[in-house]
Amino acid sequence: DQQVKQNSPSLSVQEGRISILNCDYTNSMFDYFLWYKKYPAEGPTFLISISSIKDKNEDGRFTVFLNKSAKHLSLHIVPSQPGDSAVYFCAATEYGGSQGNLIFGKGTKLSVKP
Amino acid sequence: DTGVSQDPRHKITKRGQNVTFRCDPISEHNRLYWYRQTLGQGPEFLTYFQNEAQLEKSRLLSDRFSAERPKGSFSTLEIQRTEQGDSAMYLCASSPGLIHNQPQHFGDGTRLSIL
């Protein structure tokens, strides 16, 4: 049973446009959500996170939106750059009551075309 | 900030052999996690340490796997009698631990290939 789902295996956007990556979760106890970027042969790199008490968090070109009622979060990248091409993982955890191990989705491969 | 360091980066071994991986977390990070990632999947939690105490193990961690963090600093993950299904990327991550809502930072992993 997959608790974190990324239903789009891949996404292709033009340089300068917006990239929107989506993630759904099923466990209502999750209270902290993260996005990681992964290049081939490297470990995941932390991008941005959001606590369940917020619905939006921004960091430069990256914005994460959280819709708790829909159990949905999204990552917006504006403007997209070729260097953003990577696999993006959504992750969630229940910090409030547990050890904080992350539950990951399967990832979305983003390709930004010049 | 030296980041999380893992050694070796690649390990190729024959089925049935034992292998050991090392992880050096970011200094002063209390929590250390091990994950496994296979092709087309996200990382899957294996186990974690709070300082030197191993506090949680996933059902993925069979009895052939053992992890240690003897002095609360670096950690080792050993796999005994390796099997084909153990081929994966083994990732280590660390975080400050007791502070809530702090991200985990990952190393570049050890890629294990079983012949």
Q: What is the pLDDT of residue B5?
A: 97
**pLDDT tens digits along A36-94:** 999 998 999 999 999 999 999 999 999 999 999 999 999 999 999 999 999 999 999 98
Residues in chain B where the model's pLDDT stays below 70: 1, 98-100
- Closest-CA residue to B92 (of B58, B55, B59, B43): B43
Measured in degrees and rounded to the nearest 5, phi and psi for residue A11 equal: -150, 135
| Residues A72 and A23 sit within 8 Å (Cβ to Cβ) | yes
pLDDT at A26 exceeding the cut of 60: yes
Judged by CB atoms closer than 8 Å, whether chains meet at A100 and B95 is answered as yes
Nearest to A46 among B50, B101, B105 (CB): B105
- Residue A98 — pLDDT band, cuts 50, 70, 90? low
- Closest-CA residue to B46 (of B56, B58, B64, B38): B58
Which residues of A are less than 8 Å from B91 in CB distance? 43-44
A32 interfacial to chain B (CB closer than 8 Å): yes
CA–CA gap between residue B16 and residue B110 (Å, rounded): 18
**pLDDT tens digits along A83-97:** 999 999 999 998 665
Q: What is the pLDDT of residue A49?
A: 94
Judged by CB atoms closer than 8 Å, whether chains meet at B42 and A100 is answered as no
Q: What is the pLDDT of residue B98?
A: 62
pLDDT at A23 exceeding the cut of 80: yes
Taking CA atoms, A74 is separated from A41, A81, B4, in Å, by 25, 18, 27
E-state strands within B14-102: 19-24, 31-37, 44-50, 53-57, 65-68, 75-79, 88-95
Best residue in B33, B39, B89, B104 for a mutation probing chain A (most A CBs within 10 Å) = B104
